[in-house]
Structure 1
Amino acid sequence: MSDLKDFTALVTGANRGIGAAFAAELLARGAKVYAGARDPGSVPAELLDAGAEAVAIDVTDRDQVAKAAAACSDVSLLINNAGYHAGQRLVLADDPDAARQEMEVNYFGPLNTTRAFAPVLGANGGGAIINVLSVAAIAPTPFMGGYSTSKVATLYLSGITRDELEPQGTRVTALIVGSVDTRMAGHVAGDKEQPSDIAKAGLKAMLRGEHVCDTDWMAVDSRARLARDPARYQRGLARLLHATELRTGR
């Protein structure tokens, strides 16, 4: 597992953002790539021109996930990237179903794909799984409450998967990602990382066998501030929630 040219990867949510960046980086480094998306027609032409194969995969649809696993039987790297942020409060939500949908995509989605592809990875020598998470997975983040809850669930899923699949040699790396210049983070002010940099950091961490990787400055700084003073860090997140409400009138 020292290089990427020997990998065959399936990337969920590969039609834009971090997922598309993972697909592009893998292709550039010689890997075979299945670019997964709910609508395979939305996979960028530049990825297809570079050799990616578009695959229909809605991670919340177990039947479709199973079909993808059967069709992509040579996969040795699964990248669980597809995600959803509803932009709702958790307890004081306008839409009480928003958190359930976030959990379906961000937790049950990776669980579905991991269950379906675990035998495929085992048959292909063990391989690896990368779960794309968030700084919202390392501390309760009230301005993205349902998203934060779903991401910490997948952080735990990562560790449990690693232990369960250890006998077949499957590595699992969870990525703690800060603010990235993607559509999902379009409402976030301040400096943002480029998706390509996150993809490069994530692949490097996977090749090194890291269990959890803070991929960027914001992730590293957030973990450090949380370690120094957890209560102060949490109060700061709460202030961000209420400041946002004042600006938006919610």
Structure 2
Amino acid sequence: MNELKVSPKGRVAFVSGASRGIGRAITIELLEAGAKKVYAGVRNAKALNDLKAEYSTRLVPVLLDLRDDRSIIKATRSIKDVEILINNAGVYEPGGFFSDDTLDSMAVNFEVNVWGLVKLSLSMIDHLKNKSHAAIVNISSVLGLASMPISGAYSASKAAVHSITQGMRGELLNSNILVMGVYPGPIDTDMIRDLELDKDLPQNVAQNIVKGLKDGNEYVFPDMMSKQVGELYLTEPVTVEKQFAHFISAEEEV
């Protein structure tokens, strides 16, 4: 196992999807942890005006739309000094596999959560390999470990992120790059504000991601629910699958 530790202190990071939710919280936490500079990938630079006023030149908004290949290429040309890549940007499009909207839901989830992540990572990998210490942090989900029926398409996209993370880790074994998979449970963000679930805070997720970088962790379960799921998944993955299926079924019966 790779035991590379990559503290953000004095380093340059790039966070995709940094305008709100977990991405915004990660951006702030990296800066508070002493990052030299954080490039914040956003679709609207004005969304970070308040943080820019506080952190000045240490925060650099970068226009990025993971649905647009030209946007990815343009953004990564200007951030060659990045040492920590946080693949955070994602969407949540609900739906299972047997509905009228299945294919559309799959397409939306995979376009950003999977293809966007892969394209951004490919654009950055040569820059990261040139650093003495570097990290790729992929935000998956507990739903990437076991699917929930009402979120089947989203779960599938996050399962792909989980598999991609494992593949990256294998390819970069014994390299200078730590590959971390992050598996949040329900977090209090705009993306899932309509779901009736107990939710943890984005700030807690961000703090545990930064701690994971400092400790060199390859798996991070950053909130209350995910810690419980993670412990069970590592020993009994089939049990997690059955629990998730039962949970949704019970909710639908209410």
**TM-score, length of structure 1 as denominator length:** 0.89
- Partner residue, 1:16: 20
Structure 2 CA distance for aligned equivalents of residues 134 and 79 of structure 1: 14
- Partner residue, 1:183: 190
Structure 2 CA distance for aligned equivalents of residues 175 and 228 of structure 1: 18
Structure 2 CA distance for aligned equivalents of residues 175 and 214 of structure 1: 6
Structure 1 CA distance for aligned equivalents of residues 100 and 142 of structure 2: 22
- Partner residue, 1:172: 179
Letter in 2 for 1:153: A
Alignment deviations for residues 173-192 of structure 1 (CA, whole Å, 9 cap, x no partner): 00111111111221233432
Which of residues 137, 145, 159 in structure 1 aligns to 2:144?
137
209-218 or 45-54, larger mean C-alpha shift: 45-54
Q: How many pairs were matched up?
A: 247
47-56 or 116-125, larger mean C-alpha shift: 47-56
> 5+ residue gaps in structure 2?
none
1:221-232 to structure 2, matched below 5 A, reads 221-226=228-233
Structure 1 CA distance for aligned equivalents of residues 89 and 53 of structure 2: 19
> 5+ residue gaps in structure 1?
none
> Contact 2:6/2:216 (CA < 8 Å) preserved in 1?
no
Identity rate, percent: 30
Q: Which fold has the larger relative contact order, with Cα–Cα distance below 8 Å and residues 6 or more apart in sequence? A: 2
Structure 1 CA distance for aligned equivalents of residues 89 and 224 of structure 2: 22
Which of residues 112, 125, 128 in structure 1 aligns to 2:132?
125
Kindly indicate whether residue 7 of structure 2 is the aligned counterpart of residue 7 of structure 1.
no
Structure 1 CA distance for aligned equivalents of residues 105 and 208 of structure 2: 31
Letter in 2 for 1:104: E
Structure 1 CA distance for aligned equivalents of residues 122 and 141 of structure 2: 22
> Contact 2:138/2:182 (CA < 8 Å) preserved in 1?
yes
Helix, strand or coil: the match of 1:128?
strand
Q: CA deviation at 1:82?
A: 0.6
Helix, strand or coil: the match of 1:83?
coil
**TM-score, length of structure 2 as denominator length:** 0.88
201-210 or 74-83, larger mean C-alpha shift: 201-210
- Partner residue, 1:80: 87
CA gap of 1:180–1:117, structure 2 versus 1, over 3 A, is same
- Partner residue, 1:115: 122
CA gap of 1:41–1:236, structure 2 versus 1, over 3 A, is same
- Partner residue, 2:34: 30
